[in-house]
Amino acid sequence: MFREALRREIRDAITRAMESGAIPSGEVPAFEVEVPRDRRHGDYATNAALLLAKQAGGVPREIAQRLVEFYAPPPDRIARLEVAGPGFINIAVAWPWKRDLVATICRLGDGYGLQAIGAGRRVNVEFVSANPTGPLHVGAGRNAVIGDVLANLLEALGFSISREYYMNDAGQKVHNLARSVEAHYLTMLGQPTPPPEGGYPGEYVKDLAGRLVADDGDRWLRVSEDERLDHLRDISVTAVVADIREVLERFGVRFDTWFSERALIRSGAVDRALAEIRARDYIYEADGKTWFRSTCFGDDKDRVIVKPTGEWTYFGSDIAYHLDKLARGFDLMINVWAIDHIGDVARVKGGLAALGISPEALEILIYQHVRLKNAGEYLRMSKSSGEFVALRELMDAVGVDAARYFFAMISPAVPMDFDVALALQHSQDNPVYYVQYAHARIAGILREAAAAGIGAPPAGGMEAPLPLDRLTDEREAALIHALGELPEVIRLAGLRREPHRLCAYAREVAEAFHLFYTHCRVLTDDPDLTGARLALVEATRIVLRRTLGLLGVSAPDSM
RNA sequence: GCGCCCGUAGCUCAGUGGAUAGAGCGUUGGCCUGCGGAGCCAAAGGUCGUGGGUUCAAGUCCCGCCGGGCGCGCCA
């Protein structure tokens, strides 16, 4: 809020100073308006003079001094401007401007922080997309939160977002699932059958077979193996997808589109994509296989795109899939992938490049694996080992709010240790409670005010002028400063694809509030002071609820 | 071997080329006579893996090395 205005005004000051010859003219550098680490330096600081000095020569502190003279903002907005250190300009926001922000937030309500940067550009965010061969494990939880929160952020920035799940429901993996169910099915009907090579050992596989026996009895013994496997695959995938969908919904994630790879292949889209790449001469036949010249796009060797059996490799359908997304009108595709797919990034982009599509149309956000720790021991997690911990179990154990907050809290680029024992034993210590507690406290104050007949400020219109000039305390100032950062946090977290910034911010706001709360009583016998502080409390509630909302974490009125 | 990522407090992690590197947990010691103590205050704890380089300024950018993760499938 403050930052946008400061950036604009400093840019104007630079332009005016250049025009008058007070500083060397040239391009306006990409300067920063940042919060100084040491808050005694003021609310904000800019390095504009340092960059100008570097660019056009001159003494940084002198240039800073000139800028200060040309800036000359009205005193009801900036209380102090001073040149400091090597040439920073420190900026202290004046009280009237801070008080304005409180009124603005109360007026905007949940609209506070919304921006128009995206200008309606259509963005497809594809995430989770786990193979439908079994229940989601905890790694999918991290993927889900990163994707969902990023989608929320981009929506707040004015992008038009579609959330998508790509189901790899064709190919060997789902075939193996069908074989695994078949083995149990046959065994249950008196034909002992060992589990297949590459099969899935989980309990859910047996349940699927059991359900089939209950529903259809031995009907599927009396058909051909192909027919049986087709049916088993269909019912298994359907059941697994339903389970995945249910878990994700409980986890607060809803997709606009569940995209089927089988349907894509059946539509002929993959054949068409291949034909187009072939027309551009990036395809050749050798050893009975069809190859893609990925070496033309920086790969270290060419890749098979059609196997000797005539089946597509995953690569063919991947290309067709991304073409399909573009055909649906998206300006940008963002995929959230686990680190083990890092090698595929260049290949898929290469495939798209072969069709003349800019690599910038597809952005792949890589996140590191989640390691589950239990009392210091790392748990092996893979579906084939059968030893994975399901997202459902984790969610049941620590709660949706804690799980989401925890997954969101850590930068995607950093491998994450999730200590199950700790989460189970000390879930009360999870940082999410600190933030939620601040919200609950606020709700308590507003309840109390209402019960005492004190009119809390309405979230919508604030027609009556508030006695905000009664806000004078340094903790009030610090809290307002924190509230002012929401738009910038949303901007950075969204544009840099760094959802974890929201958690750091939520904590900051909660901390500033708790500090305010301990030192500044809200409900007093001074009506004006009470009114002013109630407005600040309401503004804080809006910001906390908004931030938690972007994280998909609840903002409870009581705990 | 090649490619990408990570290395910051005892542990888990923040950190936008900028001023004295920050949180949480854990440890130690304080604070409940009015709105929720799931809170507040204070202390201890760091050669930012390592060696160079660029810069007025490097945890941040570049190069080498060490340690770790993940890839380098006619698996998806």
Name residues whose C-beta falls within 8 Å of residue A428's C-beta, 6 or more positions apart in sequence: none
Residue type (1 letter), A214: A
User: Mean pLDDT over all residues of chain A?
Assistant: 90
More confident position, A421 or A17: A17
Residue A125 CA: distances (Å) to CA of A253, A449, A543: 12, 43, 25
Residue A377: per-residue pLDDT: 63
Coil, helix or strand for A114? coil
Q: Which is more confident, A298 or A8?
A: A8
* Structure confidence by residue, pLDDT tens digits, A334-368: 999 999 999 889 889 999 999 999 888 999 999 99
Of residues A250 and A172, more confidence is placed in A250
Task: Give the relative orientation of helices A391-398 and A138-156 as an angle to the nearest 10 degrees.
Answer: 70
Mean pLDDT along residues A125-129: 97
Closest nucleotide relative to residue A521's CA, C1' based: B35
Q: How far is the CA of A483 from the C1' of B33 (A)?
A: 33
CB A503 within 8 A of CB A431: yes
Nucleotide nearest the Cα atom of A475 (by C1')? B40
Q: How big is the CA angle at A167 (ends A388 and A267), to the nearest 5 degrees?
A: 160
pLDDT on residue A473:
92
Residue A219's SS3 state is helix
CA of A498 to C1' of B8 (A): 19
User: CA–C1' distance A546–B25 (Å)?
Assistant: 26
Residue at minimal CA–C1' distance from B25?
Answer: A429
Whether the per-residue pLDDT at A426 is higher than 80: the answer is no
Residue A171 has a pLDDT of: 85
Residue type, A268: G
Question: Given this model, what pLDDT does residue A314 score?
Answer: 86
**CA-to-CA separations, A41 to A38, A44, A88, A488, in angstroms, rounded:** 6, 8, 10, 20
Distance A123 CA to B40 C1' (A): 44
> What is d(CA A356, CA A273) in angstroms, rounded to the nearest whole number?
12
Highest mean pLDDT among A52-61, A256-265, A524-533: A256-265
Q: Supply the pLDDT for residue A101.
A: 94
Q: Which pLDDT does position A389 carry in this prediction?
A: 77
State both tokens at A158: 């004015």
Using the CA of A129, which nucleotide's C1' is the nearest one? B76
Q: Which nucleotide is nearest to A370 (CA to C1')?
A: B69
- Separation of CA A273 and C1' B44 in angstroms? 64
**Cα distance between residue A140 and residue A128, in whole Å:** 6
In this prediction, residue A456 carries a pLDDT of 57
A72 CA – B23 C1', rounded, Å = 37
Find out whether A536 and A471 touch, Cβ atoms under 8 Å. yes
- Which contiguous run of DSSP H or E holds residue A429? none
pLDDT in tens, A294-343: 888 878 788 899 888 888 888 889 999 999 999 999 999 999 999 999 98
Q: Which nucleotide is nearest to A419 (CA to C1')?
A: B12
Task: Taking residues A482-511, report their average pLDDT.
Answer: 94
Q: Which two tokens stand for residue A493?
A: 């977290």
Distance in Å, residue A313 CA to nucleotide B74 C1': 7
Asked whether A177 and A205 are in contact (CB, 8 A), the reply is yes
Nucleotide whose C1' lies closest to the alpha carbon of residue A174: B76
Question: What is residue A85's three-state secondary structure?
Answer: coil
Closest Cα partner for A527 from A476, A422, A456, A429? A456
Are A2 and A43 in contact, with CB atoms under 8 Å apart? yes
B26 C1' to A435 CA distance, Å: 21
Cα–Cα dist A283/A279, whole Å: 8
Domains along chain A with CATH numbers = 2-93 (3.30.1360.70), 99-117+430-551 (1.10.730.10), 127-137+167-255+370-413 (3.40.50.620), 267-367 (3.40.50.620)
SS3 A189: coil
**For A29, left (φ over 0), alpha (ψ -120 to 50), or beta?**
beta
pLDDT at A41: 85
pLDDT at A541: 96
Here the tokens at position A394 are: 């984790």
Question: Gap from A461 CA to B49 C1', in Å?
Answer: 56
Q: Find which nucleotide's C1' atom is closest to A305's CA.
A: B74
Nucleotide at minimal C1' distance from the A170 CA: B76
For B68, which residue's CA is nearest its C1'? A415
pLDDT tens digits, residue range A151-166? Answer: 999 999 999 999 999 9
The reported pLDDT for the residue numbered A385 is 44
Tokens 């596989």, residue located: A205
Residue whose Cα is closest to the C1' of B26 = A429
Distance A296 CA to B17 C1' (A): 37
pLDDT at A177: 95
A319, A352 Cβ separation under 8 angstroms = yes
Protein CA A367 to sugar C1' B47 (Å): 31
Overall average pLDDT of the A54-72 stretch? 88
- The whole-angstrom separation of Cα A45 and Cα A82 is 9
Least confident residue range of A104-118, A235-249, A442-456, A533-547? A442-456
Per-residue pLDDT, A460: 38
A150's CB contacts (< 8 A; 6+ apart) are A125, A334, A336, A365, A494, A497, A499
Res A388 pLDDT > 70: no
Strand order in the sheet with A160-167: A257-260, A160-167, A122-126, A332-338, A362-367
* Per-residue model confidence (pLDDT) at position A378: 64
Q: How confident is the model at residue A459 (pLDDT cuts 50, 70, 90)?
A: very low
- Closest residue (Cα, C1') to B23: A504
ipTM of the complex: 0.94
- Give A380 CA → B60 C1' in Å: 34
CA–C1' nearest nucleotide, residue A433: B38
Q: Which nucleotide lies nearest residue A439, CA to C1'?
A: B36
Cβ–Cβ < 8 Å for A67, A56: no
Q: E strands within A294-368?
A: 303-306, 332-338, 362-367
pLDDT at A382: 47
| pLDDT confidence bin for A458, thresholds 50/70/90 | low
Model confidence pLDDT, tens digit, residues A242-268? 999 999 999 999 999 999 999 999 999
Nucleotides of chain B in contact with protein CB (under 7 A) are: 2-7, 12-26, 34-41, 56-57, 69-76
**pLDDT for position A379:** 63
